Amino acid sequence: MSNYAIISLGGKQYRVQEGEKLLVDRVKTDEGKTFHPDLLFVGGEGKAELAQAVLEMDNVVDRMRDEAFITLVHTMNERPAVTRQALDALLVARNLERVADHATNIAEDVIFWVRGADVRHNIAPEITLAPRITDTH
């Protein structure tokens, strides 16, 4: 795959390649003047394996947070003297899970930029089935 870039122009993002023509909405600039879009990303090989791996790990991190919650609540019930430390550990687990969520959001963007596939929120393409035609004769 050849080199490409992701640019931001007029609130939208575009994947562009050198020599490619791009049709965009009107840009606020004087006619005939040069303008420069914001450069967000430059890529070359079009590989998104690392981003895919990050997506696959999100559920693992969620389960780890859930297990920590169950264990720490049990610990607080059994040993009230360590409640403060257990609450601190719960906050750490929650914040680590939020970091993983942010990493997942970035990975989703990378996959979109590289593959052009929208993988946010496990969106699968909708399939609409045609109504079944029945023989009435």
pLDDT tens, residue by residue, 71-91: 999 999 999 999 999 999 999
pLDDT at residue 136, as a whole number:
52
**pLDDT over 90 for what percent of the chain?**
31
| Mean pLDDT of all residues in 6-32 | 76
pLDDT greater than 60 at residue 50: yes
Other Cβ atoms within 10 Å of 15 Cβ, number: 17
Can you tell me which residue has the tokens 């963007």? 109
CA 131, 135, 137 angle in degrees (round to 5)?
Answer: 150
pTM above 0.75, yes or no: no
Q: pLDDT confidence of 132, banded at 50, 70, 90?
A: very low
Q: Is 104 exposed, middle or buried (0-12, 13-18, 19+ CB in 10 A)?
A: buried
Fold of 49-122: Methane Monooxygenase Hydroxylase; Chain G, domain 1 (1.20.58)
Q: Name the nearest CA neighbour of 67 among 96, 45, 32.
A: 96
Can you tell me which residue has the tokens 């297990």? 67
Instruction: Please provide the size of the chain in residues.
Output: 137
Domain boundaries, the chain: 4-43, 49-122
Determine the straight-line distance between the first and last CA of the chain, rounded to whole angstroms.
56
Q: Name the nearest CA neighbour of 105 among 58, 61, 59.
A: 58
